[in-house]
Amino acid sequence: MDNIRIDKISLPKNTKEIIKKYGFSFKKSLGQNFLIDQNILEKIVNAAELDQSKGALEIGPGIGALTQSLAHSAGKVTAIELDQRLIPILNDLLQPYDNVEVIHGDVLKLDLNSIFKEHFRDQTEISVVANLPYYVTTPIIMALLEKQLPIENIVVMIQKEVAERMVASPGRKDYGSLSIAVQYYCEPEMVLTVPNTVFIPQPNVDSAVIRLKRRKKPIVQVEDSVFFFKVVQASFGQRRKTIINNLISNLFTKDDKQKLISILQSCDIDPSRRGETLNIEEYARLSNVLLKV
């Protein structure tokens, strides 16, 4: 097989031949699952709204199936791969694409601001597009959002259950601190659900593609975003507890109970409500008042 001239890496036959040719073995600890469905790859790329003036940052490219599709749609693609064994494979398979660069490293440890400035200086917009390792999905997404990177969209394949939490609205059982954190920074939208049969090897869970369209500014105005998220996390500490009891257990003390009741009431929040019933506007109002306590 001429490894340089594979038109579609994602085709099952090609993926299997590449794995065999390079003697690659999957590491469960790295959450490696290669997508073998070209139709789904194209839907992922389309959701990122790319064109030749835009750039794409890919995390965990594997053997380059998604990278190859991105190379046809974006002006510049930079892929970050943690597994050193995949670097020579990627360099071989992606050699025909002069708009692709591969970086070996851990996305959670790299200086992403420097990477964006160095690799995307000629691009008008940059999106993150990836089939993320499921064991580090949330840390990666939160790092991308909290670092204030110039991102237009984050389009990622993740565990379906986590995607449902990101798009959840108040009152739903999957609504929690992750829902609020993502929705604070982005407009989340479920693009499609994906069965486990389109991966090699097959994961034990169903997957989903989610698009997080970055807001120009957060959906609510808070005086201290770090404190805002502390209030949110405290309020979801134990889901069966009321918000007043969660705040006492996780952020304040029993001595603050009467003061907290008064503050909640002043914010039009019944102290007997549970954290999962409050919307993001109510959390913003509450945290701005609590900050002054």
Q: Is 33 annotated as a binding residue?
A: yes
| pLDDT given at position 7 | 85
| pLDDT given at position 5 | 58
The dihedrals phi and psi of 251, each to the nearest 5 degrees, come to -135, -30
In one letter, which amino acid is 80?
Answer: I
pTM over 0.85: yes
Q: What is the pLDDT of residues 112-137, one digit of tens each?
A: 999 999 999 999 999 999 999 999 99
- The whole-chain average pLDDT of the chain stands at 95
User: Which contiguous run of DSSP H or E holds residue 66?
Assistant: helix 65-73
Q: How many CB atoms lie within 10 A of CB 6?
A: 21
Q: Is 204 annotated as a binding residue?
A: no
* 251: alpha, beta or left? (left if phi > 0; alpha if psi -120 to 50): alpha
Separation between Cα atoms, residue 147 and residue 152, nearest integer Å: 14
Give percent of the chain above pLDDT 70: 98
Separation between Cα atoms, residue 6 and residue 14, nearest integer Å: 8
Domains of the chain in sequence order = 3-214 (3.40.50.150), 225-290 (1.10.8.100)
The three-class DSSP label of residue 110 is coil
Answer yes or no: is pLDDT of 96 > 60.
Answer: yes
| Average pLDDT of the segment spanning 223-228 | 97
| Average pLDDT of the segment spanning 251-267 | 96
How many angstroms separate the Cα of 148 from the Cα of each of 59, 152, 199? 17, 11, 32
Residue 51 in tokens: 């064109």
Q: Is 35 annotated as a binding residue?
A: yes
Q: Is 92 annotated as a binding residue?
A: no
- Per residue, the 3-state secondary structure of 244-273, as one string, reads HHHHHHHCCCHHHHHHHHHHHHHCCCCCCC
Q: What is the pLDDT of residues 42-80, one digit of tens each?
A: 999 999 999 999 999 999 999 999 999 999 999 999 999
Q: Is 161 annotated as a binding residue?
A: no
The three-class DSSP label of residue 10 is coil
Answer yes or no: is pLDDT of 3 > 70.
Answer: no
Separation between Cα atoms, residue 3 and residue 1, nearest integer Å: 6
- The answer to whether 190 and 157 have CB atoms below 8 angstroms apart is no
| Helices (H), ranges, 120-203 | 137-146, 160-167, 177-185
> 1 pLDDT band (50/70/90 cuts)?
very low
Q: Is 246 annotated as a binding residue?
A: no
> 148 pLDDT band (50/70/90 cuts)?
confident
Q: What is the pLDDT of residues 162-203, one digit of tens each?
A: 999 999 999 999 999 999 999 999 999 999 999 999 999 999
How many angstroms separate the Cα of 157 from the Cα of each of 88, 132, 135, 190, 265? 24, 6, 12, 10, 41
